[in-house]
Amino acid sequence: MKYDKYWGEQTDLAIEHFDIGDEKMPAEIITAFAYIKKSAAKANCKIGKLSAEKCKAICEVCDRIIEGELENQFPLHVWQTGSGTGTNMNVNEVIANFANDIAGTNILHPNDDVNMSQSSNDTFPSAMHISAVISVKSRLLPEIDALIEAFKAVEKESESVIKIGRTHLQDATPLRFSQEVSAWRSMLEINKKMLLEALEHLRALAEGGTAVGTGINCPKEFRGEFLSELNSELAENFKAPENSFHAMTSRDELVFAHGALKALASNLMKIANDVRFLASGPRCGYGEITIPFNEKGSSIMPGKVNPTQCEQVTMIAVQVMANDTAIAFSNSQGNFELNVYAPVIIYNFLQSVNLLSDSIHCFTEYCAKGIKANEDKMKENLNKSLMLVTALNTKIGYDKAGEVANKAFESGLTLKEVCLNEKLMSEEEFDLLTNPEKLV
């Protein structure tokens, strides 16, 4: 690199006028733009609009951007023009100026060549979808799979362990601990299916609609060639939208996809809360499971084990839910032919993906893989529970069983002792009816 900066006048104006906050345009968007500019150059070359020399120059710089070589050339903040024009021109200028520097002459113009057949209004939405698909596939889905496998291991290890169930935070009928964990695992499997469905909607790209969806200044052959080049580059299946005008004015596909992220976040919060309550204690809480001791839990209380991984998961879940509100509200504010909340939508979307990916990874490695059933405590709680009385319904009826439970609670006797005292059944009948193995 000969110069410190390769952006031009339009980027400088954006730097001057939008010096707002610390949030920079996500690197994933810049990478997506590089794929767009490379594919657009190849498409324009194929249809005879761009020379082979210019196409080669654009592609070479795009490859360097994709490799992260020029990351310091993209200084713009998220809080800029709502169409993302500043970032589109930042990319156009860097590609043109860097290529011109290499060539030693001005062979590329940022608008006429790098932005050929395009507009910020179709490239930025396309970059949003591309970055969303890539980030979910490459970052989030593998972490979900890893947590699913961790829960499967806990299930296998605890197949024979029976514990008391709980509904409404009250004692309920028994179940196997592996069955309880299977619910956590199933939540994640369903969330994965939701995300995969959402990705299909995100594969529709606005590219080719240019300013308002009519495709002005874009040859009809461009879109097909562009998609062919892009899909070859990414081994993907991006496609044209059913309606180009919809693709310009609405970001509802990202709202839908982030809804799947919100569903995942809400399930993770439920799982983390279950884990931290079941691990509470060790002597004055539920204490039915143990979790890894990763770091000292208190600056004043020695030996304290806090559910810190559960805490980070629940904080991340709160942030993702807040991001969902911002994304949905932003989409609702699109006016006429264009939504001008694009930067904040994709910033929040990618933040959610990245936070969830990192959060799940840490939770899997430092908590889920180390969950152990405290069989003695589970057995103790199971034997103390009054809800085993449910199994007596078929023998003595719901009302009489309720009386037995109330008498046991008030007197401090066991269910068995009350039944035998009242001569409601024999000891053998009671043991047979309340055998936990038969109740699960």
> How is 121-177 classified by DSSP, letter by letter?
HHHHHHHHHHHHHHHIIIIIHHHHHHHHHHHHHHHHHTTT-EEEEEETTEEEEEEEH
Those residues whose C-beta lies under 8 Å from the C-beta of residue 336, and which sit 6 or more positions away, are 249
Helix (H) or strand (E) holding 23: none
SS3 205: coil
Per DSSP, what are the bridge partners of residue 290?
372
> Which one of 138, 232, 298, 411 is the catalytic residue?
298
How far, in Å, CA of 205 to CA of 26, rounded? 19
Q: Count the Cβ atoms, other than its own, within 10 Å of residue 296.
A: 12
CB-based burial label for 394 (10 Å; 0-12, 13-18, 19+): exposed
Plot region of 337 (φ>0 → left; ψ -120 to 50 → alpha; else → beta):
alpha
385 is a catalytic site residue: no
How far, in Å, CA of 227 to CA of 239, rounded? 7
Instruction: Examine residue 174 and say whether the peptide bond preceding it is cis (omega within 30 degrees of 0).
Output: no
| DSSP code of residue 137 | I
Q: Which of 2, 347, 46 is nearest to 224 (CA)?
A: 46
CB 415 within 8 A of CB 408: yes
258 is a catalytic site residue: no
Residue 173, CA distances (Å) to 2, 170, 430 in order: 73, 10, 16
Q: Give the pair of three-digit tokens for residue 9.
A: 């006048």
Residues involved in catalysis:
168, 298
